[in-house]
Structure 1
């Protein structure tokens, strides 16, 4: 009995081992094919990324370096240097793909050759544009530098009326900023008038040289086409677009190939799996005939033991315990006894651990309640610092405030102050969006409220732009201490208006936040400056917008929470376009109804989506 069972089990093991070896060999071959496909995938993906990075480097060159003197002084471009390195990597990738025998079968449209040709064309366009940009120059360099030199020479010679040379420089600057033909014509026409009145030969020569330099610069701008995306710049963009299209074609061809390969691997694996399962089933049926009554008895005892929750300890009666099955039964009885002992020990341990966990849970819940109570108290403090609607109504009776924080404490805040004395009678109203939301945003909002109060009341600053300038200084000074060797860049976006009740006029200034203005059912957006309240590389003064008011003018100040709210239903953000249409649509309603409509629209749009940011909209009517 011993030898027979052993030999049969050995034969079954050898049969399974043989078919497993066959499966392993086939799997190795399939893995090699899959690895080859993955290698091509890595090359294709790297090529796509390379083209996108080249496009970014070129765009960054035009955006950041062509308007900096360092580039014209050193004649070195970090972005073009990065692009050149990417170009070398690009050549290596295309060469690898071109030399890949499998990829040659995939690339039916010869996209690699097209990419090589497009790359050469891209290099030529970049070289041409770079040469022209150097020739054109910037400020004191190149043709623009010559033009400025002649202009300064004319100014110093005093041979031209200062107002006329000032107008020439204004036309020159308007062209550089706006790139419009009318400024070229105005410049040249004024030059003709000045030349007609000029009595000095040397002065006339300088004026002509100034004109020639200006027109050379205009001609080079036209050839480059950077400002209106035409000419060489348009050709450059088309080449980059063509390269992206070719890489997408390559990716599409590779995806088709990979789908076929993976399907073949899948079908082969399934076939081998089914074959081995059939063999295993056959051997199982064959071996099951060798199972004796003792095996059946052992199986029933094991099943009973498991169903009882590992608690029943019934001895198995068997006559022969000297063979493999007898040894198995004896070992099972030993194991069963050990399991019962271990379960009893574990039940005791689990009870102890459960009691310990419950104690820790109660402690955590207690700490959580304390934290939430602290945050709620912070909310009360913040709400106490916000002006009430009744207080605002003293000078702005027709208004509404839609304020819905994301968390308990808000990073958005609104600020109001009526200042009346012998010199003026004004109302200052501000809406701000601080960095972050929740507790960090709430702390920043408290700092903003305190700073505005100090600036407008103690320092007596009444200009909207001056208030923002002073607020920026205050915030920057507050965060002047370095944390881990770095200065904090936290701050806020803010829109502020100053209503002059005596003159019935309004001032506006904004830091990344606009003012929406409706008059005669026509909505106008007055943009704020593209710089925040906080540390920023540009410290120019904020722009002051001032205009006269009329009866029933509507104004809206808001943060970006409403327009940035995402909707799972629509799978997109609300967007400013829809927000402006909504404001114009509800402008004929009274302000209380407007607030209700805005709240309903926001709730319907958000639906079951989590709120993404604090919401704050303040509207008022003159």
Structure 2
């Protein structure tokens, strides 16, 4: 009878991460998946392989190795099915185990990344996941990896990457909110009855607001930058930088002039000069076509006037006793976009406001949100209706009603954009 002992001379042990490659996270390399598994040699018979499988019930595949070099893999299920056929055991029991071996298994070096290994496994077909794959160091066998372990490792890596990304985004949210702190403080100091609802679609977003208090009045802006999420948040940083630069040097009593100066600053920052063409330039650099829609307002305490300049963003005014909101439209050009000329001039609109007048500014995240039984946009009409339903209440109570109406309308539909709405009452 042939010797059926396990050929321990070729038994591999699992390598630790530090043995795989110093200085690199071994958990992200193929060597981390090397399992402690018995091996066969081409001199071993199928009867010996059957004995190995019987002794090691957890082994799903057996590598075949000769002189330290991998030759193939024997899949347990396929091997057992072949020997179960009539007369196959009698015919093949004493023959070399290579008869039922996969001669072209996936073989990878220990320092291959799990990402590259996953691509190789997919390209190799289902056998790489069913049989497993052989792991080598300098073409010498060190272990076998299981397809299920590869899938789990990739999932764990992805979860870890997602965790790190979310940690970064959460911290970016702290930074973004810090840019709004001074505006919130000035808002609370200047207004007795107001609300500011700022809600990024994701953790960070492309909506931004700016408020600064002066002795004779206050300046406010509600801004909708291109995009949402991380790209939108980057745009808010550019816009915040432009605002801080421009508004310290520009007369805030003139919102249109401030818009024009911000437009020039943003276009220079983003290199948007090519008159409407977007794409790659001759040097292979991508042109930006980004900017913001916004409403700039100066409210003068003494004259009780509001001076408004809008870039594709309207103003909603509700005088005391009025039965409907007045909509004051802004200009049709946004700020900073390629098709907005460098010297574009917005127009100021000056409105006299009676005591008790309420003013609302919103980005299009509310207006454009799909919802309701007909799956159409929330729209200005529903927004005006929601405001009128609670117009006699405090601004904070109005915010609660407006947002509750909005959330119910959105229902189970995905949020399309960041949502920001600002409202205040003049004493």
TM normalised by structure 2 equals 0.63
In the alignment, what sits opposite 2:228?
437
Matched, 1:484 2:287: no
Structure 1 runs not aligned, ≥5 long: 1-307, 318-327
Matched, 1:474 2:269: no
1:464 shift after superposition = 1.2
1:602 shift after superposition = 1.5
Within 1, Cα distance between the matches of 2:220 and 2:307? 10
1:549 shift after superposition = 1.9
SS at match of 1:531: coil
**Runs of 4+ deviating beyond 6 Å:** 330-333, 337-340
Q: Check 1:339–1:398 CA distance in 2 against 1; reply closer, same or farther (3 A cut).
A: farther
Within 2, Cα distance between the matches of 1:551 and 1:462? 20
Matched, 1:523 2:325: yes
Within 2, Cα distance between the matches of 1:344 and 1:427? 67
Is the CA contact 2:203–2:229 (under 8 Å) kept in the aligned structure 1? yes
Structure 2 runs not aligned, ≥5 long: 1-76, 103-126, 134-143, 274-278
String of CA shifts for 1:52-96, please: whole Å, max 9, x gaps. Answer: xxxxxxxxxxxxxxxxxxxxxxxxxxxxxxxxxxxxxxxxxxxxx
1:470 shift after superposition = 1.0
In the alignment, what sits opposite 2:412?
608
- State the aligned residue count: 299
Matches for 1:78-157 after TM superposition, within 5 Å:
none
Within 2, Cα distance between the matches of 1:546 and 1:530? 18
Of residues 132, 135, 146 in structure 2, which corresponds to 1:352?
A: 146
1:408 shift after superposition = 1.1
Is the CA contact 1:411–1:434 (under 8 Å) kept in the aligned structure 2? yes
Of residues 271, 276, 293 in structure 2, which corresponds to 1:493?
A: 293
In the alignment, what sits opposite 2:335?
533
SS at match of 2:364: coil
Deviates more, 1:474-483 or 1:369-378: 474-483
More helix by share: 1
Within 2, Cα distance between the matches of 1:523 and 1:559? 17
SS at match of 1:561: helix
Q: Check 1:338–1:461 CA distance in 2 against 1; reply closer, same or farther (3 A cut).
A: same
Within 2, Cα distance between the matches of 1:586 and 1:551? 18
Q: Check 1:345–1:391 CA distance in 2 against 1; reply closer, same or farther (3 A cut).
A: closer
In the alignment, what sits opposite 2:191?
396
Q: Check 1:365–1:315 CA distance in 2 against 1; reply closer, same or farther (3 A cut).
A: closer
Matched, 1:550 2:350: no
1:345 shift after superposition = 11
Of residues 464, 474, 478 in structure 1, which corresponds to 2:255?
A: 464
More strand by share: 2
Is the CA contact 1:404–1:616 (under 8 Å) kept in the aligned structure 2? yes
Within 2, Cα distance between the matches of 1:370 and 1:345? 28
Within 2, Cα distance between the matches of 1:390 and 1:340? 76
Is the CA contact 1:456–1:462 (under 8 Å) kept in the aligned structure 2? no
Within 2, Cα distance between the matches of 1:445 and 1:574? 25
Q: Check 1:471–1:310 CA distance in 2 against 1; reply closer, same or farther (3 A cut).
A: same
Of residues 68, 83, 86 in structure 2, which corresponds to 1:316?
A: 86
CA-based RMSD of the aligned residues comes to: 3.2
Of residues 329, 350, 373 in structure 1, which corresponds to 2:167?
A: 373
Is the CA contact 2:251–2:258 (under 8 Å) kept in the aligned structure 1? no
Is the CA contact 2:129–2:147 (under 8 Å) kept in the aligned structure 1? no
String of CA shifts for 1:576-613, please: whole Å, max 9, x gaps. Answer: 22222222222122111111111211111111111000
SS at match of 2:208: strand
Q: Check 1:344–1:609 CA distance in 2 against 1; reply closer, same or farther (3 A cut).
A: closer
1:397 shift after superposition = 1.7
Matched, 1:584 2:388: yes
| Larger of the two Rg values belongs to structure | 1
TM normalised by structure 1 equals 0.44
1:427 shift after superposition = 0.4
SS at match of 1:311: helix
Higher relative contact order (CA 8 A, sep 6+): 2
Deviates more, 1:529-538 or 1:430-439: 529-538
1:487 shift after superposition = 3.9
String of CA shifts for 1:275-313, please: whole Å, max 9, x gaps. Answer: xxxxxxxxxxxxxxxxxxxxxxxxxxxxxxxxx887353
